Structure 1
Amino acid sequence: MAGGKYCYPYTDVLINKYGIQNKELLEKLEIQKVTVKLLGLQVNPERIKYTFDTEHFVTLHWYLFSDIYEWAGRYREENLYKNERVLSGGSVEYADYHDISDKLAELFEKVNNIDWKQTSDLIFNISDFLLELWCIHSFREGNTRTCVAFLWHYLKGRGIDFHLELLKNNPMYVRDSLVMASYDHSEYLRKIISDALKSDDAKTKSILITKSDYRIKKSEYKLFSKKIISKK
């Protein structure tokens, strides 16, 4: 199976600075590298400037992935199809790669007009911001991790306390909830966003119950999939 221009020939393994051609090994390296980078950013958030624009977003992707990929911090140059279990193997319709720059500019113009500390719809605004940013899928790899980390950094710069660890500790729930939200089922995404905005005591409690609390039941997946298929 060929994975496009970013992959080694006749494979779906991304070309990387280490020359690793084993997908599982590359994924493990990614996790290790990105985890260390995120910890560094949490300790010193000012190492990335709060410009609240596309440069801010792109710089964060470069920061997280530049040790691994030459194209870190650059928009993808091909369209993507990613199999999603929530969609029974189908893919979310991501932005055409020709439109990434314009769509990001439009999104940041919109969100930068929000008074984040005064809005009465904070959970909805944050959920919609994350969803729109994710659906553009600006990069060839690392989109979900970059969007989640950027959301935390963006909100921190706006004076909003957001619990990044809660989303980091539940990556499958976050991805599935984003997929479902892209088809107008936002309740799962809004749940974890709501919990990430709670007081420190509630956040500590949330970390302890993540395995049971942030799991979408198979019956809910099936019901969602049936609704999507019936609309097509």
Structure 2
Amino acid sequence: MMPVTDPYLYPGTEVLVNKKGYQNAERLRIFETTRYLSRAITMPTDTNATSALKDLHHHLFQDVYDWAGQYRTCDLAVDGRKGLHPDRISQSVQGVFQNLKANNGLRDLSSDRFARGAATHIAALDRILPFRQGNQQVILLHLSHLARNAGHNFDLSQLDHDQWNRASGKAAVNDERLMMHAIATLFKSGRTMTPDQAHREALSLRDPARQELQSGIDAATRTLNAGQADSATLKELRGLRGELKALESDTQVGAVLRHIDQAQKAGIEKLTVLPGRDGSARDAIYAIGRAAVRSLDLQDDQRAVQGMSAEQTRSPASWFNRASQKLSGSEETPPQPNSPKSRGPQFG
């Protein structure tokens, strides 16, 4: 059987065919990154259209690859994660964006609920690996645009790339918690409080939350009695009644308090609580609970990292943060021969 060849590589190397003709892996890395950074200054910001990823990929990599903005036509595996077969990419991406549209582009959500929805959306794209190169860059910038278009104060520069790679690995097997937490750490608007403060605030929010829920139930009931209720109103009414029952039985607040106590016993001194929607007491209770859970999960992640070797924890994306400073010589440096063992850019 003939060995499978990658049509995107120069024969006998692992370097991607590029517009400059560079066959030196490091030279291509630097060139790709500098052009990417230059193009990233201004870029498409539409997040809901199915073509959003293609448009963004083309904009970022048009100076480097002829196939910028096109889905890959070969199989691809990154860090042990295998992307979908090329024949399934287009339909799968379309399905992911249909779900995004059905969820209103994740607008009108609290920061925590946005992080939860965004983790599901981004993890789905991450599992597809739609492009031969540049998946992580495109997906992360898409996430940033998604957050800003939804009205959130978001800072992608604070991303821990090592943590994100671990989150991607877990999301590949349908565990999206770490990705959700990683996204939540990128909001600029969080409040810091001690577990004791969080405990007191959660208790103080019970009555305002109860009033919010009862007000919502009364409004939905009036709509129902007037014969104007649709399926969405009925669904909302059921949800509000269930939430009120959980609140009155202390199921909801009790769970939040238990998470806070667990965080305190684990030695966590500060919780970062993200804002809810429009001062909603219900969202504020939820945000406090999520802050406690997030602190515990991130602590577990760091403990797991401490038990790994430096090589295991080194992000393959780390070069990306330094590449613009490493540029040496002109971009017009002639192509150089490359050993077949050299590695091309490691972004998927």
* Pair 1:217-2:219 in alignment: no
1:81 paired residue among 72, 77, 82: 77
Among 154, 175, 178, the residue aligned to 1:188 = 178
Partner of 1:17: 19
| 1:3/1:12 contact within 8 Å kept | no
Instruction: Report if the CA contact (8 A) 2:171-2:179 is conserved.
Output: yes
Q: Distance in 2 between matches of 1:99 and 1:185?
A: 22
Choose between structure 1 and 2 for higher RCO, CA contacts under 8 A separated by at least 6 residues.
Answer: 2
How many percent of aligned residue pairs carry the same amino acid? 24
Structure-2-length-normalised TM-score: 0.51
SS at match of 2:51: helix
Instruction: Tell me the amino acid that sits aligned with residue 193 of structure 1.
Output: I
Unmatched 5+ residue regions in structure 2? Answer: 193-271, 273-298, 310-348
> Are 2:179 and 1:178 equivalent residues in the alignment?
no
Cα RMSD, aligned residues only: 2.7
Residues 1:199 and 2:189 aligned together: yes
Contact 1:103 1:136 in 2 (8 A): yes
Counterpart mapping for 1:48-67 below 5 A: 48=44, 50=46, 52-67=48-63
Aligned counterpart in structure 1 of residue 117 of structure 2, from 115, 125, 131:
125
SS in 1 for 2:81: coil
Distance 1:6 1:184 in 2: 30
Aligned equivalents of 1:107, 1:180: Cα separation in 2: 19
1:36 is displaced (CA, Å) by: 2.3
Aligned residues: 197
- In structure 1, stretches of 5+ residues that fail to align are 42-46, 85-90, 207-212, 222-232
Instruction: Name the SS of the counterpart of 2:96 in structure 1.
Output: helix
Q: CA deviation at 1:3?
A: 6.0
**Residues 106-129 of structure 1, C-alpha deviations (whole Å, 9 max, x = no match):** 110101111423335222101111
CA pair 172-33 structure 1, distance change in 2 beyond 3 A: farther
Distance 1:75 1:175, change over 3 A: same
Shift of 1:146: 0.5
Aligned equivalent of 1:227: none
TM-score, normalised via structure 1 length: 0.75
CA–CA separation in structure 1 for the residues paired with 2:163 and 2:47: 29
1:3–1:13 CA contact under 8 A, matched in 2: no
CA–CA distance in structure 2, aligned partners of residues 56 and 122 of structure 1: 19
Q: Deviations over 1:169-190 (max 9, x none)?
A: x333322321122123333322
Amino acid at match of 2:163: Y
User: How many angstroms apart in 2 are the aligned matches of 1:151 and 1:65?
Assistant: 18
